[in-house]
């Protein structure tokens, strides 16, 4: 069976607002940004500020459609990945 995976396909659009982080923390009933399965890392080593979206696979156990909805710049998409366990003989 194919598994649905959250992917930051359009990471270059990220503005660093961290609404996605707050959404996953809300779903996990956590306060604050610590230990979130999504982390936004600021990279100012280039002439323009760039944000890297780091995603832990555990996020795929959450409601990832809601994560997509909160992002104002449409960074994410859901891709389908085959479940590798099915191919172990
Ligand atoms: S919600 Fe979207 S724009 Fe905001 S930090 Fe997350 S990925 Fe970046």
Residue 81 CA to ligand 1 center (angstroms) comes to 23
- For a mutational test of ligand 1's pocket, the pick from 16, 33, 37, i.e. the residue with the most ligand atoms closer than 8 A to its C-beta, is 16
For 82, the 3-state DSSP assignment is strand
Domains and CATH numbers, the chain: 2-82 (3.30.70)
pLDDT in tens, 51-84: 999 999 999 999 999 999 999 999 999 999 887 6
Residue 82, φ and ψ in degrees, nearest 5:
-65, 140
* Confidence (pLDDT) at 46: 79
Evaluate if residue 12 carries a pLDDT over 90: yes
The reported pTM is: 0.89
* Confidence (pLDDT) at 44: 85
Strands 77-82 and 2-7: antiparallel
pLDDT in tens, 21-42: 999 999 999 999 999 999 999 9
Mean pLDDT across 2-19: 96
* Confidence (pLDDT) at 84: 65
10 Å Cβ neighbour count for 41? 11
């Amino acid at each position: 069976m194919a598994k649905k995976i959250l992917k930051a396909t359009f990471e270059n659009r990220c503005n660093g607002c961290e609404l996605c982080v707050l959404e996953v923390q809300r779903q996990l009933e956590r306060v604050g940004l610590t230990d979130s399965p999504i982390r936004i890392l600021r990279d100012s080593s280039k002439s323009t500020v760039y944000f890297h979206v780091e995603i832990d696979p555990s996020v795929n156990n959450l409601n990832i459609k809601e994560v997509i909805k909160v992002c104002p710049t449409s960074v994410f998409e859901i891709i389908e990945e085959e479940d590798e366990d099915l191919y172990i003989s």
